[in-house]
Amino acid sequence: MLQIAPTWEARPWDDPSRMLCVDVARERILAAFAPLPAVRVPIIDGLGFVLATDVVAGTDIPPFANSAMDGFAVRAEDTLDSSDASPARLRVIGQAAAGYPSDVLLLPGTAVRIMTGATIPAGADAVVRFEETDEAGHGVTAGAGSDGTIGIMRPAKPWANIRPAGEDVRTGQRVLLAGSRLRPAEIGLLAALGRATVLVHRPPRVAVLATGDELVDPGVAPRPGQINNSNGASVAAMVRRSGGEPVMLGIARDTPEEVRDKLRAGADADFLITTGGVSVGDYDIVKDVLCDVGQIDFWQVRMKPGKPLAFGHIHGTPMLGLPGNPVAAAVAFEQFARPAILKLLGRTDLAIPTVLARLADRVENRGGRRHFARVRVDATVEGYVAHLSGAQGAGVLSSLAAANGLLVVPEDLPAGEVGMTLPVQMLDWEVG
C-alpha cells in the first residue's frame, strides 16, 4: 500500500506530538482563574449570576397554615357521616380571605367561608371545597344558605386542602447553595423568603483587542488589502453571552509599541483577550512585546481550527491570545475563554452542553488533531442528527452562522464516517 507521508513531517511545528492536547491547554488556562469577589445586587439583577454564599431560610414558606382551595374551613370530625342525602349542617360564623385572617374560633358545629391563601382559623382542621357543599352558586360572591348554615356533603379528611406552615421551606433550612446559578426559580425563592438583594460573584470585565495591519472597524470602508475587524465584535458578543462585560480596546497595528499601548488600556480588566498575531511567521513582534511586559507562552494546540494560541499574564492580568482566523478564534474562545469566564463568575459547570449525534456527512480528520466541525444538529425521532453546515475553512464565518454545534472528531480518528455517533458541543444551549 502506498504510504503518503503526512505533510506535518516536513513541518516540525505541525508535529502533533509537539502540540498541547486541548484538555491540557484548558487545564493550564483554568488554573489561572478563580471566582471574583461578591457584590450585593437587587435580586432580579442577579439573573444568570452565581450565588456567593449559601442562603438559609429566616422564615417558613408558607409562613402560616393556609387554604389550598376556595370552600369552608371545618372541623373534620363534624363531617364524618355526611353525604348528598344527609349533609352535615354547620353554622357559618365568618369569612376568611387571602390577606384578611379571620379571628374567630371554630367550635363544634361551625364553619368559616374561606378563600385560597387565607389563614386557617383556629379550631379548623380541614377545608371542604365549595363543590362538596350545598352552597348555591359555588362562587366567591355566593354566600351561605339564607339560614346562615352550610351543608357539607362529603366527609373531610383531617388536614385536607390545608397547606401547613413550612410545607415548602422550613426556617433554618439551607435552601440555596453557594455556587448555584440564579434562574427565575431561585429568584422567586429569594423573594418568597423576603430577600430584596442577593450576594453574587461580580461579572468579569473582559478586554478585547484585535491585532492586524489589515483591519479596519465595521462602518469604515476597507481600502485595497484591508478587511473589516470581525473578531472584535464576535469575541465581544461571546464574552457577553458567557456572562462577562466586554471592554473594547479596538485594533492594534502589528507593531510592538501599538500592541503594548493598547494592552495597557486593558490593565484594569479581569481578563484580556487578543486575536491574531499568534501563528508561526508573524507572532514574533507580538511575542517580543508580550514577553517584555508580562509572561506569555505561545502554544500549538492539537486542534483544528484554532491551533495557535498564546496564554499568560500582562501586568498581572490573565491574557489569552486567540488565532486571527475568525472561526479559529471562535472555536478557541468556546474551548478556553468561555470556561475561564464561567470560572470567574463562580460557576463550577464549565463544560459546553454536549449531545451525541449521528453523522449524516463524512468529516475528514487528517493530521492527528481534535477537529471541531461546524454542524447543524436536528432532533429527530431517532435522536440527534448532525449535518455539516458548509465549508470548513478556518476563515469561513457563514458556515459558523449556519451551525448550532461543533462536532468533535477525536485526535485519533482519521475521519468521522456517515452513521457514526460523535459528541457535538451545542453552542446555543444555556446550562441551568
- Sites of contact with Mg ion (CB under 5 A): 212, 276-277, 324
CB of 50 to ligand AMP, least distance (A): 31
Comparison of 318 and 324: residue with beta carbon closer to Mg ion: 324
Nearer to ligand AMP, 155 or 276 (CB): 276
With CB under 6 A as the contact rule, the residue among 46, 155, 277, 416 that binds ligand AMP is 277
Stretch of 171-179, 274-282, 293-301, 333-341 lying at the interface with ligand AMP (CB under 6 A): 274-282
Which one of 35, 46, 166, 276 is in contact with ligand AMP (CB under 6 A)? 276
Question: Is residue 323 a contact point for ligand AMP (CB under 6 A)?
Answer: yes
- The residues near 356 (Cβ < 8 Å, ≥ 6 apart) are 383, 384, 421, 422, 423, 424
Cα separation, 317 vs 295, in Å, equals 10
Is the Cβ of residue 266 or residue 321 nearer to Mg ion in the bound state?
321
Count of helices and strands (H, E) across the chain? 8, 27
The answer to the question of residue 245 lying near ligand AMP (CB under 6 A) is no
Region of 11-19, 41-49, 321-329, 404-412 interacting with ligand AMP (CB under 6 A): 321-329
Which three three-digit cell numbers place residue 429? 444551549
- Tell which one of 82, 229, 317, 389 touches ligand AMP (CB under 6 A): 229
In angstroms, the CA 387 to CA 107 distance is 72
Respond yes or no on whether the N-terminal peptide bond of residue 222 is cis (omega within 30° of 0).
no
What 3-state class would DSSP assign to 261?
helix
Name the E strands within 81-237.
88-96, 110-114, 126-129, 149-152, 162-163, 174-176, 197-201, 205-211, 215-216, 227-228
Closest approach, Cβ 208 to ligand AMP, in A, equals 10
Cell of 291: 514577553
**Taking the complex as a whole, how short is the minimal distance between the CB of residue 316 and ligand AMP, in angstroms?**
26
Residue range at the interface with ligand AMP (CB under 6 A); choices 228-236, 288-296, 340-348, 400-408: 228-236
Q: Which helix (H) or strand (E) holds 247?
A: strand 245-252
- Binder among 22, 61, 124, 215 for ligand AMP (CB under 6 A): 215
The distance from CA 6 to its chain's CA centroid, rounded to whole angstroms, is 41
Does residue 246 interact with ligand AMP by CB under 6 A? no
Contacts of 62 (CB under 8 A, 6+ apart): 163, 165, 166, 167, 168
# of chain residues touching ligand AMP (CB under 6 A):
19
Q: Is 279 in the site for ligand AMP (CB under 6 A)?
A: yes
Nearer to ligand AMP, 229 or 389 (CB): 229
Query: E-assigned strands of 256-300?
Result: 271-275, 294-300
Which CB atom, from 68 or from 394, has the smaller least distance to ligand AMP?
Answer: 394
Interacting residues with ligand AMP (CB under 6 A):
210, 212, 214-215, 227, 229-232, 275-279, 282, 323-326
